[in-house]
Amino acid sequence: MDLTTDPYASAAAEARAGLLGKIVAGGGLTDPAWRAAFEEVPRHLFVPYYYEAGGAGGEGGARGTAAYTRLWRDDRDPLRRARWLAGAYADAPLATRLRDGELISSSSQPSLMARMLHALQVRDGDSAMEIGAGSGYNAALIAHRLGDAHVTTLDLDPEITEAARNHLAAAGFRPAVVTGDGARGCPARAPYDRIIATCAVPSVPLAWLGQCRPGALILAPLATGLVVLRVTDARHAEGRFLATPAYFVPLRGSGPPPPVPTHGLPSRPLLDDSFRFLLNVAAGHMEPVEALALWEHEGRPGHERYGVTVRGERQWAWLDEPEGAYAWPLGPAVAGA
């Protein structure tokens, strides 16, 4: 779509300003370069349609799953078109692709995207790889900041990469869009200064470390949190989790996350993000009642007190210190690790 002929350009600019104001009011986008990216990249071009859960007989539902309603840019109903545009600039995640009733791709919540991009600490001239192309919107924001030539976005699904490529071109961006296994990265365009994953991983693929320059940062969703690792070399990295909780679609090919047992637990701590995080990070290595006792004994620690260490084939999550009293092996390792 030519931006000069976009029929939604004026209304979208107003909606985008409103979204930007909410993110800034929440303490985000303190970096002028990222603020400019959110001001200028039109999110609606990346979500020509998306799905809302609920509604009888909606499109995209499947037997045994909730129905979905599709909102579409070219809907004949002007009220539904207005609803689509408002949703495109809401501070909320958007389900963009379903298969057999299962969500396989989405556009993340913009305020969370802003926090993640800020945590990348990018510098002019950095080369970045994104794992999980999604709609292409996040890649566009990164390309706005670093330039097309410095950005690679990767996804296993050719339908997703084709759509992302088209959306990016419509918005005037042309980073490298690669179809491939995210766990294996993209060695052809390495080395990278920054890697950001927009899908959850059970452990950190060693292939990513091997494609990083020494001192690079990797940001990835893991165990309902966001870990930021500083890479030492191809087999060593370490870092802590950000304070914010995060829930992402799993990396394709990594398998479903392990079940998190909750038997014997009172309902109140299960409503706490920090306790659910501990249950996830220690899944398979700690009984739920034991986890509750640890959480309460340690003062109900938040995400930022946890970290991850990678030492070759061995990697683990920990509370407070890498060699401290509380540590849990991560895995199983995804393909490419």
102: β partners: 99
**Both structure tokens of 57:** 């007989």
Which residue positions in the chain have pLDDT lower than 50? 56-65, 333-337
**pLDDT for res 262:** 83
Cα 244 to Cα 226: distance, rounded to the nearest angstrom:
7
Domains and CATH numbers, the chain: 3-180 (3.40.50.150), 267-329 (no CATH)
**pLDDT for res 1:** 52
HSE-up of 2 (CA within 13 Å, CB side)? 2
Q: What percent of the chain has pLDDT over 90?
A: 82
pLDDT in tens, 150-159: 999 999 999 9
Contact 184, 205 (CB under 8 A): yes
Catalytic residues: 105
The C-alpha angle 204, 164, 61, rounded to 5 degrees, equals 85
HSE-up of 266 (CA within 13 Å, CB side)? 5
Residues 6+ apart with CB under 8 A from 38: 16, 19, 20, 23, 29, 110, 114, 141
Helix (H) or strand (E) holding 14: helix 9-25
Q: Tokens 């927009």 appear where?
A: 198
**pLDDT for res 333:** 45
**pLDDT for res 324:** 96
Q: Which residues of 27-48 are buried (b: 16+ CB within 10 A; e: fewer)?
A: ebbeeeebbebbeebbbbbbbb
**pLDDT for res 103:** 87
**pLDDT for res 256:** 66
CA-to-CA separations, 149 to 118, 128, 129, 164, 192, in angstroms, rounded: 20, 10, 11, 16, 12
223: β partners: none
Looking at residue 182, its amino acid is G
**pLDDT for res 74:** 95
72: β partners: 49
